[in-house]
């Protein structure tokens, strides 16, 4: 496969040559100045999904496939997607650039170092860590006690042994001993800040607001108090520029930022989305995990912050995931099972109800697998028809854009129907509501919970967040992606449950409260057979094994 010169890809999108800054032969940064050179306002499609089985259901593959199909229909379409993190790439999931004939390119480079954005974010995060501990050591420029430090460290790799560590050992000359933790870089507040920042000035302001500790009197100590923001921006100034790549068929793709879908808002960057909207007819973007976890945050957090709103939702489903939610065993979901499939429809129904709660139209995208039968596909088509929801079977994985034309046509029909009266923003809660009310609104409307319980620790966290000025912020829910509830074993459409919030964290720079449920980890571990073991580097320097099934 020969990739198009990146300048040619930028020219197709309409970018001026001076705005395309090559980062090697087949990838580039795009100057933030490009945002002011176009008055076009494209139509945005939000790609989401039902709750996946552990390996995922191909949401990114379907996003790329849709962009390919739209391009084959003569549309100026661009995929605006997240950057993969090294942790999942070498962990359970493998690469995050799509798959088969519907992938982003250069796939190996995007999955590994790409343009260095994640390394820059890791460095900026840990620079702040070093400056905070330096203040603990010297008592300057602000007096800090190690026990009151909230800021953790970050690393872009799954390493369970770093979940809890002790730093500062070795005597007084080496620091002040204290317990701390590592988060994966995608879970860093710096990552969330970069993804939500409008420009360099906004980036510096958000970084300066990060709460790193509490003073003895309980008042917040922020990154600005240790003089960190400007030097962090120096590390991040290139990382803030969106990345230009291409699909396997040479269409333009904006691949930028990758906040964790659990602990953060799980969306690509605001500047990347705005760039795409300014130059494309259709913008295909996605949110992390299922609609309950990713799309809700995309709409309530990212869209509220950026002042944008999608025209509609493409909800990715697979027969195997529906059967999984209908009670089929994990090792049996590839086999025909009409009873499990029909039971799984209740799970899909709940997600469609959630889409409606935001005032958006939806189409179903069926990511077809080789073992899928026409009989079961017909059952799903009948389900969609009975609810007046568009549906298309996509074979983008095996056939690229040619296998995605039905999907492109179905999505275009949905978008065309909104031209006369585009959907207006409809959020689940107002910012003037209490944090508890916001959390209940999400849990009841999107998860189907009866109520929310707050542990004593979470209630104490909420009081602290209020004291630190966080009461008026949106809420970023952190829960399992495998279930609508906070229990990963409860598949289907759980009913009669209470969601338990065990911890609340203030992300003052990113501009949201994080409500943690269940046993969610911000530093994942590697599985027994990590994806790293299947990677091969060939004599010509090419790499295989980063993607599942490769």
Distance CA 271, CA 195 (A): 8
User: For strand 43-49 and strand 282-286, is the pairing parallel, antiparallel, or unpaired?
Assistant: parallel
**Which residues are CB-contacts of 191 (< 8 A; sequence separation ≥ 6)?**
118, 121, 185, 257, 258, 259, 260, 264
Of 1, 250, 258, 213, nearest to 120 by C-alpha is 258
DSSP string, 93-110: S---SEETTEEEESHHHH
Question: Is 58 annotated for ligand binding?
Answer: yes
Is residue 56 annotated as involved in ligand binding?
Answer: yes
C-alpha distances (whole Å) from 365 to each of 18, 311, 382, 408 are: 38, 16, 14, 10
Backbone angles phi, psi at 102, to 5 degrees: -115, 75
CB hemisphere CA count around 80 (13 angstroms): 30
Which among 321, 298, 283, 329 is positioned nearest to 512, based on CA atoms?
298
Q: Which two tokens stand for residue 390?
A: 């568009």
What's the rounded Cα separation, in Å, for the pair 92 and 88?
6
Euclidean distance between CA atoms 483 and 170, whole angstroms: 45
Cross-strand pairs, 312: 45
What is the bridge-based pairing of β-strands 165-167 and 178-180? antiparallel
Binding site annotation covers 60?
A: yes
Helix, strand, coil percentages, rounded to 5, for the chain:
40, 20, 40
Distances from the Cα of 274 to the Cαs of 75, 84, 435, in angstroms? 18, 20, 29
How remote is the C-alpha of 123 from its chain's centroid?
21
The whole-angstrom distance between residue 153's C-alpha and the CA centroid of its chain comes to 20
Task: Name the packing angle between helices 456-467 and 435-442 (round to 10°).
Answer: 130
Cβ neighbours of residue 430 closer than 8 Å, sequence gap 6 or more: none
Smallest CA-to-CA distance from 510 within 272, 85, 223, 308 is with 223
Give a three-class secondary structure readout of 169-204: CCCHHHCCCEEECEEEHHHCHHHHHHHHCCCHHHHH
Residue 376: closest CA among 321, 316, 314: 321
Q: Is position 57 annotated in a ligand binding site?
A: yes
Q: 55: annotated binding-site residue?
A: yes
Q: How far apart are CA 88 and CA 547, in angstroms?
A: 11
Bridge partner list, 367: 394
- Cα 452 to Cα 93, 145, 286, 474, 488, distances in angstroms: 31, 34, 28, 17, 17
Cross-strand partners of 286: 47
Residues of each annotated binding site: 53-60
Residues of each annotated binding site for ATP: 53-60
């Amino acid at each position: 496969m020969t990739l198009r010169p990146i300048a040619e890809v930028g020219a197709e999108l309409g970018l001026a040559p001076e705005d395309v800054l090559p980062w090697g032969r087949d990838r580039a940064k795009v100057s933030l100045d490009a945002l002011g050179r176009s008055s076009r306002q494209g139509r945005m499609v939000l790609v989401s999904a039902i709750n996946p089985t552990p390996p995922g259901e191909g949401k990114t593959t379907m996003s790329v496939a849709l962009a390919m199909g739209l391009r084959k229909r003569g549309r100026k379409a661009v995929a605006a997607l997240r950057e993969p993190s090294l942790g999942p790439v070498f962990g359970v999931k493998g690469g995050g650039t799509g798959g088969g004939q519907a992938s982003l390119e250069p796939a190996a480079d995007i999955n590994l170092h790409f343009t260095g954005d994640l390394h820059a974010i890791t460095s900026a995060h840990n620079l702040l860590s070093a400056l905070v501990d330096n203040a603990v050591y010297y008592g300057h420029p602000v007096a800090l006690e190690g026990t009151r430090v909230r800021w953790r460290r970050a690393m872009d790799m799954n390493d369970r042994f770093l979940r809890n560590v002790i730093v500062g050992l070795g005597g007084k000359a080496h620091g002040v001993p204290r317990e701390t933790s590592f988060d994966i870089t995608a879970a860093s507040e710096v990552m969330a800040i970069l993804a939500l920042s409008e420009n360099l000035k906004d980036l510096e302001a958000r970084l300066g607001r990060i709460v790193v500790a509490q003073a003895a009197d309980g008042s917040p100590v922020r990154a600005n108090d240790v003089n960190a923001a400007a030097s962090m921006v120096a590390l991040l100034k290139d990382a803030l520029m969106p990345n230009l790549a291409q699909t396997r068929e040479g269409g333009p793709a904006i691949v930028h930022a990758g906040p964790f879908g659990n602990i953060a808002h799980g969306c690509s960057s605001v500047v990347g989305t705005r760039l795409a909207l300014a130059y494309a007819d259709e913008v295909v973007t996605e949110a992390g995990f299922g609609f309950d976890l990713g799309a809700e945050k995309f709409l309530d957090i990212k869209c509220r912050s950026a002042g944008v709103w999608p025209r509609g939702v493409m909800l990715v489903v697979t027969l195997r995931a529906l059967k999984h939610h209908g009670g089929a065993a994990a090792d049996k979901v590839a086999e025909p099972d009409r009873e499990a499939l029909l039971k799984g429809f209740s799970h899909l129904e709940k997600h469609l109800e959630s889409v409606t709660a935001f005032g958006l139209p939806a189409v179903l995208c069926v990511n077809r697998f080789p073992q899928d039968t026409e009989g079961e596909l017909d059952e799903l088509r009948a389900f969609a028809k009975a609810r007046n929801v568009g549906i298309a079977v996509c074979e983008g994985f095996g056939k690229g854009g040619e296998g995605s034309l039905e999907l492109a046509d179905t999505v275009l029909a949905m978008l065309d129907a909104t031209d006369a009266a585009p959907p207006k923003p409809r959020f689940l809660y107002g910012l003037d509501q209490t944090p508890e009310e916001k959390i209940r609104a999400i849990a009841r409307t999107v998860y189907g919970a009866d109520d929310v319980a707050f542990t004593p620790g979470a209630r104490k966290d909420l009081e602290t967040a209020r004291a630190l000025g966080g009461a008026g912020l949106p809420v970023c829910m952190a829960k399992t992606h495998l279930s609508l509830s906070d229990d990963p074993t409860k598949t289907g459409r759980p009913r009669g449950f209470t969601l338990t919030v065990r911890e609340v964290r203030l992300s003052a720079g990113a501009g949201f409260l994080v409500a943690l449920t269940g046993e969610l980890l911000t530093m994942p571990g590697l599985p027994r057979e990590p994806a790293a073991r299947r990677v091969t580097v060939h004599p010509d320097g090419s790499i295989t094994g980063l993607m599942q099934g490769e």
